[in-house]
Amino acid sequence: MAAHGDDNETDWRSFRGPGGRGVADGFPVRSSWNADANSGEIDGVLWQTKVPGLGHSSPVVCGNRIFLATAIASDGKAPLKVGRGGSSDAAEDNGEQSWVVLCYDKLTGKELWRKIACQGKPRATRHAKATHANTSVAVEGSHVVAFFGSEGLHCFDLDGKLEWSRDLGVINISKYGIGWGYASSPATHKDRIAVVCDDPDNPFVAVLRLSDGKELWRVSRKDDCVRSWGTPFIHSNSARTQVVVNGWPWIVSYELETGKELWRIRGGGDNPVPTPFEAHGWIYITNAHGAQSPIFVVRPDATGDVSPSKEADNDKSIVWSTTRGGSYMSTPVVYRDYLYLGNSNGVVRCFNALTGENVYEKRLGTGAAILSSLVAADGKVFCPSENGTVYVLAAGPDFKVLARNKMGQPCFATPAISKGVIYFRTTENLFAIK
């Protein structure tokens, strides 16, 4: 099958794009715009289109197509808690749903197709600030992979034809006695798909064959992880290919082909959400919530337990680490020589990505809760906020807000960047900013 204008160098084929880095350089990218018609004249918007249902799934770009996932409630109502007051309550959204994969034209925003992957009542509840479609799809070759947790793993071709589906059972990622919802996107590498299913009663990581959905291996995480929501990261070099999975109390790396454990780190944050990613040839991992908010920078050839000791960080597998400063919900971005982290309290932190030196810690503004992950391009770092504003920072050691851009609706989903265009999914729309 043709890849419809496929361009590996400028595609954004999965959550956070190539290497999970969240970076797309090589094209000029706009700093300021206005996508909110209620706050003045629209400016800088190439197109916008209404997205049905509710989802925090991020845009994924392959060639001239954009893919999204969403959940459409049969009664048309999908409540979402916005703003302060992050209680532990589940959303009252347990009626009939359709889990849908959407495809749009990248140049115009026109919907090309929508396919229902699953229909029925949710098999697990979701958090009031989450959705039944939190996960992003992943495109590998001519395959579009969508994983909705308890509602199954589904593979389509680029034209929306269903190739196969797999039911991995109920995945009820719970805390405080309620299900908080599933949020771990699938990760792909050649003919492999890695999925993390950290239901506290039966946590596991599995790898399936992309071409036909056959499960190749499954490893229990019963003694390694209580719960997690992060997307697995597949790192490949000439020496080995590994699946790195955030978790608590342990962060673990597995060999992609066999499931054999390669290395582990004792984590700190007891609600692991951020996704590991690669930068400068190293693997960056963070989590928070609880006593610590660590950042670990790990060499890909690590082996065994590489947890930093309390006395000194002597393990050569750890480039640098800190017990404070990590992020809770948002995956950070390394851009050039700096690591940027956004937080739900509106604070942005910056570290020297090579040494771990603390560079700055600044607040973006009132209500600037950063729940989506940061992305960077063209000397800028983009911080979408729950308050409907995208804060644009100048890259570098000095804290400088270049623009505060209105989107008109809250931003929970992580944006995608391709050929100088930024694609934002708000709670209601998909925008292309050029």
Euclidean distance between CA atoms 67 and 198, whole angstroms: 25
User: Is the confidence at residue 237, as pLDDT, over 90?
Assistant: yes
pLDDT of residue 312 exceeding 80, the answer is no
Question: Which bin fits 141, alpha (ψ -120 to 50), beta or left (φ > 0)?
Answer: left
pLDDT band at 200 (very low <50, low <70, confident <90, very high): very high
Q: What is the pLDDT of residues 335-377, one digit of tens each?
A: 999 999 999 999 999 999 999 999 999 999 888 999 999 999 9
Domains of the chain: 18-81+90-433 (2.130.10.10)
pLDDT at 135: 98
Residue 310: pLDDT band (50, 70, 90) is low
Tell me the pLDDT tens digit for each residue of 250-267.
Answer: 999 999 999 999 999 998
Look up the pTM and report it: 0.96
State pLDDT tens for residues 77-134.
Answer: 899 999 876 566 789 899 999 999 999 999 999 999 999 999 999 999 999 999 999 9
**In the chain, % of residues over pLDDT 70:** 96
Q: What's the mean pLDDT in 140-168?
A: 98
**Rounded mean pLDDT of 300-327?**
87
For residue range 383-410, list pLDDT tens digits in order.
999 999 999 999 999 999 999 999 999 9
Q: Model confidence at 315, in pLDDT bands (50, 70, 90)? A: confident
Mean pLDDT of 213-224: 98
- Provide the pLDDT for residue 311: 52
How high is the mean pLDDT of the chain? 95
Q: Would you state the pLDDT for residue 4?
A: 45
With 90 as the cut, is the pLDDT of residue 309 above it? no
Predicted pLDDT at 336: 97
